Amino acid sequence: MNKSIVKALMKGYLTLRKLWDPKKKPLKVREEYNLSAEKFQDKINSFEYKADPLGGLFDHTADPNKFFDNTKESGRDCDDFQRQWSWWGVYNGYESYEHVICDPSSIKTAFSTMHVIGTLKSKETSKWFLTNYYIYGPFETEDDALEYMRNFKSYRKNRVTVKYRRIK
């Protein structure tokens, strides 16, 4: 399928998603946001992945204040992990961006492989980092950080990436 068509469809979908998925700020600075990147990734990845309701059919980012609640029955998937990285970045002096990546081979594949990742830019060093459950980098540019996704099997050959939103 044409990548520009998939990109346009993704942008339309993400515009709609912003309406049903408002950006919620944590009610307080969680102690976890004061951890180093390495300790933070260990902490968030100690929590079980839990798909959104109906197997993620209605994908949304849950309230960030509830991510660390062990009683959660759903809503701790890629976008929830990414939102935690976004807030960690904000509270640690990074510019924080969320992106959606997919395989544009077909409309069905595009939507079934849609995945949320992030980039963080250090305000001190101007270096970029990729966040995809874990943190990777540093990279010289945001494009270099996003290009690192080629190391993940699902995005090795064919992918489209759309910047979703800046968290601040």
d(CA 63, CA 150): 30
Domain containing residue 11: 3-22+35-48+75-167
Judge residue 68's burial from the number of C-beta atoms within 10 Å of its C-beta, 0-12 exposed, 13-18 middle, 19 or more buried. Answer: middle
Q: Do the domain assignments include residue 142?
A: yes
> In this predicted model, what pLDDT tens digit does every residue of 41-71 receive, in sequence order?
999 999 888 776 665 555 666 667 777 776 6
Number of domains making up the chain? 1
Element housing 98 (H / E): strand 94-102
Residue 27 domain-assigned?
no
Interatomic CA distance for residues 118 and 98, integer angstroms: 4
Domain contains 84:
yes
Whether 68 maps to a domain, the answer reads no
Q: Does residue 158 sit within a domain?
A: yes
Taking the model in full, what pTM does it have? 0.86
Which residue in 98, 103, 95 sits closest to 163, CA to CA?
98
Q: Which two tokens stand for residue 25?
A: 């700020």
Q: What is the pLDDT of residues 80-124, one digit of tens each?
A: 899 899 999 999 999 999 999 988 888 888 888 888 999 999 999
